[in-house]
């Protein structure tokens, strides 16, 4: 982990939700980037180190399960992938194992803050 905090990618096609979440993690001392599509997220994954990915499940160009599986394959187990969705987790999908955590929307910010603090401690 860098001195600035965690490097976080937020993937959500809802611009307002992405911006608010980005501001929240910034207040916690982390650096956040946003992507509105799976393709944009995969490009950002290629261009830098990431500690955490927060992704919606219903994206305009792909399914969040498939995106998480591709990111896990591309980035390995060093990145923490957290689903943020209004849908319950479908554990029957093989790609579900790509997620480290699942948070249902609306996200409880104190729960997210605790998860990010745990990632920080593991990275330190």
Summary mean pLDDT of the chain: 93
Instruction: Return the number of other C-beta atoms located less than 10 Å from residue 104's C-beta.
Output: 13
Digit-coded pLDDT (tens) for 60-76? 999 999 999 999 999 99
The whole-number pLDDT of residue 48 equals 78
pLDDT at 2: 44
- CATH code reported for the domain at 7-123: 3.40.50.2300
pLDDT band at 121 (very low <50, low <70, confident <90, very high): confident
CA distances from 26 to 19, 31, 98, 107 (A): 10, 6, 25, 16
Question: What are the boundaries of each domain within the chain?
Answer: 7-123
Across-strand partners of 8?
32, 52
- What is the pLDDT, as a whole number, of residue 52? 98
The pLDDT tens digits for 32-51 are: 999 999 999 999 998 878 99
pLDDT tens, residue by residue, 21-30 = 999 999 999 9
Given strand 80-85, what is the order of strands in its sheet? 31-35, 7-11, 52-55, 80-85, 101-104
The rounded distance, in Å, linking the Cα atoms of 24 and 28 is 7
Query: Which sign does the torsion angle of CA 110, 25, 115, 102 carry?
Result: positive
Task: Categorize the per-residue pLDDT at 124 as very low, low, confident or very high, splitting at 50, 70 and 90.
Answer: low
The per-residue pLDDT for 122 is 78
Cis geometry, peptide bond prior to residue 121 (ω within 30 degrees of 0):
no
By C-alpha distance, which of 16, 58, 56, 60 is closest to 37? 60
């Amino acid at each position: 982990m860098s001195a600035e905090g965690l490097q976080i990618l937020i993937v959500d096609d809802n611009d307002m939700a992405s911006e608010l979440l980005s501001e929240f993690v910034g207040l916690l001392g982390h650096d956040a980037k946003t992507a509105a599509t799976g393709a944009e997220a995969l490009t950002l994954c290629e261009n830098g180190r990431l500690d955490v990915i927060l992704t919606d499940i219903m994206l305009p160009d792909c399914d969040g399960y498939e995106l998480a599986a591709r990111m896990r394959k591309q980035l390995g187990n060093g990145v923490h992938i957290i689903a943020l969705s209004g849908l319950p987790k479908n554990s029957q999908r093989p790609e579900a194992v790509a997620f480290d955590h699942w948070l249902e929307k609306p996200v409880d910010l104190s729960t997210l803050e605790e998860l990010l603090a745990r990632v920080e401690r593991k990275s330190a």
